Amino acid sequence: MTSLQTTVHGHCDPAFKAVREALEESFARGHELGAAVAVYAGDRLVVDLWGGVADRRTGRPWLPDTPCVAFSCTKAVTATAALALAERGAYDLTGPVAEWWPEFGACGKEQVTAEQLLSHQAGLPALEREVSAAEAADPAAMAALLAGQAPVWTPGQAHGYHALTFGWLAGEIVRRLSGRTVGEFVRAEFAGELDLWIGAPPEVIERAARLSAHRPEGASESAGGPAGEARSGALERLARLTPEQAALMDRALNNPHPGKGGYNNPVVLAGGWPAAGMVTTATALAAFYRDLVAGRILAPGTLREAIRRRVNGPDRILGVDTSFGLGYMRPAMAFAAPPAAAETAFGHSGASGSIGLGDMEAGVSLAYIPNLMGSALTADTRAYRLVKALYSSLG
């Protein structure tokens, strides 16, 4: 094994040194290009670490304020915006979506509830036609496409990961009932002071970390525990797919296609994709969960009800077990967590290996954002090791 020497910068409370050691190990094994991790214990920022390279092409270093696209970590922020409106009485979570979005009632969806929509039960995991990155920047048009589709399973009878469509479905709650896009609502209501954008401005895109799909030379494989099991389960799932299942999964994960440059494409980063386009720092995402756990964004009762498991078990799209509350992932194969976090952690992971996590009982939050794409479909051992290190530090 070749060791890739990278200095990890920043602050780490001695009580949480295991988190620093886990990040340093990931760099040493060659599992990172650039990355950052942040942890809040209550309102104390006890871990704020970063290191490596933000852009492999230029060698630009990762700095404390380097933002990066966080993929599906976006979903938890979008869901929070939708839940804030429910808390204010703008709509009924258990009522039909068609009550406030009449067009959605077409094609057999007249009884689909907002609760089903937010828990991946609506049966609309993929768009029926190809959509460009530019088209995807128009939330009204994307919502109209989904409103005109028939569900691929009976809503409420199964769940399957709405990898990209979730954003425009949940986002339509925000757009119709607040008159603002998800990005506008989030900035105005609870992220105005944070380095967190769903629809990043040009100056943020310019300094954002650039994603890379290949591991550095000399990197070693390492998989174990729940995250390793999830990766094995994902690979087994891929081997068993019928052509029809593979086509649906491909559409769910890859349409809209981000175009040239993938998720480095400025059109995507500026487009405000509300399921996968958030650009943020680890510190800001951890601060979002800090405020959420502390009751500053949603009332504690609202959040407890939102993280209650609505679905749990085999996912119609991913195949491995997933578990969701209302927009938030709960520990399962696709959101791996150590035993100490199994009943209390919530949040969301992202395709790069990123994760945002909160825990009301432990009073902690964590965010990890890398720019080297993970090698697992549904879980990432790097994030799992950091989460495990956090909970071991809590004793």
Domains of the chain are 8-76+183-392 (3.40.710.10)
Do the Cβ atoms of 275 and 166 come closer than 8 Å?
A: yes
Residue 92, both tokens: 């009924």
Edge-first strand listing for the sheet containing 279-280? 68-69, 279-280, 196-197
**pLDDT tens, residue order, the chain (395 aa):** 334 468 999 999 999 999 999 999 999 999 999 999 999 999 999 999 999 999 999 999 999 999 999 999 999 999 999 999 999 999 999 999 999 999 999 999 999 999 999 999 999 999 999 999 999 999 999 999 999 999 999 999 999 999 999 999 999 999 999 999 999 999 999 999 999 999 999 999 999 999 998 655 555 544 455 555 555 555 566 667 778 888 999 999 999 999 999 999 999 999 999 999 999 999 999 999 999 999 999 999 999 999 999 999 999 999 889 999 999 999 998 899 999 999 999 999 999 999 999 999 999 999 999 999 986 555 589 999 999 999 999 97
SS3 of residue 280 by DSSP:
strand
How far from chain centre, in Å, is Cα 315? Answer: 17
Which of 300, 372, 387 shows the shortest CA–CA distance to 336? 387
Whole-angstrom distance, CA of residue 312 vs CA of residue 329: 10
- The CA distance from 183 to 101, in Å, is 20
Rounded to an integer, what distance in angstroms lies between the CA atom of residue 180 and that of residue 168? 13
Look at strands 60-61 and 44-55 and give their pairing: antiparallel
